[in-house]
Structure 1
Amino acid sequence: MQNRITDLFGIELPIVQAGMIWASGWKLASAVSNAGGLGIIGAGSMYPAVLREHIQQCKQATQKPFGVNVPLLYPGIDEIIQIIIEEKVPIVFTSAGNPKTWTPTLKAAGITVVHVVSSAKFAQKSEAAGVDAVVAEGFEAGGHNGREETTTMVLIPAVSAAINIPLIAAGGISSGKAMAAAFALGADAVQVGSRFVATPEASSHINFKEAIITAQEGDTMLSLKRLTPVRLLKNKFFDDVQQAEASCASDEELKNLLGRARAKRGMFEGDMREGELEIGQVSALIDRIQPAAEVVAEIWAEYKATVQRLQA
């Protein structure tokens, strides 16, 4: 398939793997890129030296384009950006911050820049900042989420009407049928997160992967809306957060509760009780762990079959 996103990234299929913390290392990114999509290394859970190692390993594992996701509010961002430029990463996805800050620097180094947004307003601001494309991520998505709580079904057509640059749809997408729906709403590609967490190549812990494939409808919920909205799989840590919010805990108390390496403890080390488990609503539709290449092929085949069925 050829469209604005495949041309922009130099990839075969308009399927992008999200750069999820504690899940998206070089093994997953290279597997997705080799399968024809765009693999992304998630820098959010990596020290600078670790990120450099993952980039170098990814270069050895694939000859195809890949990218790095960079949360702009994370500490050490200057060093992260410098490593990305030095290693000649072709594509960078930025999130959680102002795209004006680093987009000119990255573009000057010949890097394609994509910014993640949760509203049409911020999509327009990103376009004005000079990014090459945006990811519009709906309320269904796992991890940190928009305060507007706009669902993907509403967000994608709103952003599509507001910008002229290519649009990648994210949030609740794990199948070819969902991909076809996103294209019908105005997207040029889809970004898939939760389903790629449940792959052998993802660096997330097997306990977390098994929790995803057994999750049922309603097992995730958006929490910490006052501080930093994040969608979590329900467990004891989630209950502790709910109790803290219900008892009117201060922002500082909530930060302390959230900031005790909880994400690493849950998603990477496999503590299903006390760890933070960031995953999307679509986990209720994921029922098995399968290789990343299979995921890409299955989504693409179902997308084509869905389009053919609708045309008929």
Structure 2
Amino acid sequence: MKQKELQIGNLTLRRPIFQGGMGVGVSLGGLAGAVAAAGGAGAISAAQIGFREPDFDTNTVEANLRAMGKELQKARGRAEGGVVGFNIMVAMQHYADYVKQAVKLGADFIVSGAGLPVDLPEYAAGSNVKLAPIVSTEKSAGVILKYWARKFERVPDFLVIEGPKAGGHLGFTGEQLTSFDEAAYGEEVKRIIAKVREYEARFQKKIPVVLGGGISGMEKAARAFALGADAIQAATRFVTTEECDADPRYKQAYLDAREEDILLIKSPVGLPGRAIRNVFADRVMSGERIAPERCRGCIKGCRPTEIPYCITEALIRAVKGDRENGLLFCGADAWKAERIETVQQVVDDLLG
């Protein structure tokens, strides 16, 4: 299977693959730059991206905005002329500020999920940055396409579909995730793509569709293209690479994971997520409350005095290498990882 290059406006992907955004700190400039250098699109996660900045605890937003610039510059240095952008969650506090910073910095694209990015075009108005919502169902795709068309007289530059086998926060209920039927979801993907094609015809503009979620090998990548996707998105496969920005102990947790170690855990804001079982996950699943050390204002709607744990603290502990006391988000096939690879090897394995 040798897939042709993908054109998104003035952006050219030599290989039709997007690297999924992984926060906190898993997909920064190192990984994103390597994927871009391999011909794909590298995504830097903006989620608490400034966690290594000296003033992160006291000046969180400014630290994050500053780090966005540093990481984009790092990625550009690795992949001159490559395609690099940001993954910015709608659920983040100060969402508009992060979008505007990405625009100011000259990112190639912004991918936005964890909520519907209804106002993304407003925050990026007047720029050439390519905008893409993340959706999981035909209903959510229809809502965002209709809203952008009516309010902004535009459509997404591309659209990302994340299926039930993706990692991190998921756009499904716990029941939907436990009763997942791959064939049935394949039909849902076809309906989403058909909806996108309606708006393509209406606006006379190609809207590439990127499909992600559990794409861990060439066979699953081929199925995504057979369903009608123009490109694939992979995240978990890129964790166990030399270029991934996470601590080596984080990567080793993926290599050591067994299939039965992959579980669903509830985020502090109520969304289900997929993670690797460890001491932290067992404590949370047992109903224990792990009181936050401090609030850094990461997610809208979070109530620090009521949440079972602080997701910022849990993710930072993990990415720094504390594999037992941190939250190890992952995709459904994380247990299949057997060795540390290079980004180029992963791209070639998935796309041929």
Give the TM-score range, shorter chain. 0.7 to 0.9
Match of 1:10 in 2: 12
Match of 2:60 in 1: none
CA positional deviation for 1:139? 1.3
Q: TM-score w.r.t. structure 2 length?
A: 0.78
Correspondence list, 1:135-214, <5 A: 135-148=160-173, 149=176, 151=180, 153=183, 154=185, 155-164=188-197, 165-214=207-256
CA separation of 1:186 and 1:107: change in aligned 2, threshold 3 A = farther
Match of 1:304 in 2: none
Q: Which amino acid aligns with 2:315?
A: A
CA positional deviation for 1:174? 1.8
Match of 1:64 in 2: 82
CA positional deviation for 1:163? 2.2
Q: Which amino acid aligns with 2:317?
A: R
RMSD: 2.2
| Richer in helix (by share) | 1
C-alpha distance in 2 between matches for 1:259 and 1:29 = 23
CA separation of 1:157 and 1:274: change in aligned 2, threshold 3 A = same
Q: 2:135–2:162: 8 Å Cα contact kept in structure 1?
A: yes
C-alpha distance in 1 between matches for 2:272 and 2:306 = 12
CA separation of 1:122 and 1:198: change in aligned 2, threshold 3 A = same
Alignment length (residue pairs): 295
Identify which of 34, 48, 55 aligns with 1:45. Answer: 48
The superposition leaves residues 260-281 of structure 1 with CA deviations (integer Å, 9 ceiling, x where unpaired) of 6001111x11112211110011
- Structure 2's unaligned 5+ residue stretches are 50-63, 149-154, 198-206, 290-301
Identify which of 338, 343, 350 aligns with 1:292. Answer: 343
Identify which of 324, 327, 343 aligns with 1:273. Answer: 324
Q: 1:142–1:280: 8 Å Cα contact kept in structure 2?
A: yes
CA positional deviation for 1:107? 5.0
Q: TM-score w.r.t. structure 1 length?
A: 0.87
Identical residues among aligned pairs (%): 27
Q: Which amino acid aligns with 2:307?
A: K
C-alpha distance in 1 between matches for 2:168 and 2:35 = 21
Q: Which amino acid aligns with 2:233?
A: Q
C-alpha distance in 2 between matches for 1:300 and 1:183 = 10
C-alpha distance in 1 between matches for 2:312 and 2:108 = 34
The residue matched to 2:111 in structure 1 has which SS?
Answer: strand
C-alpha distance in 2 between matches for 1:106 and 1:288 = 40
Match of 2:142 in 1: 124
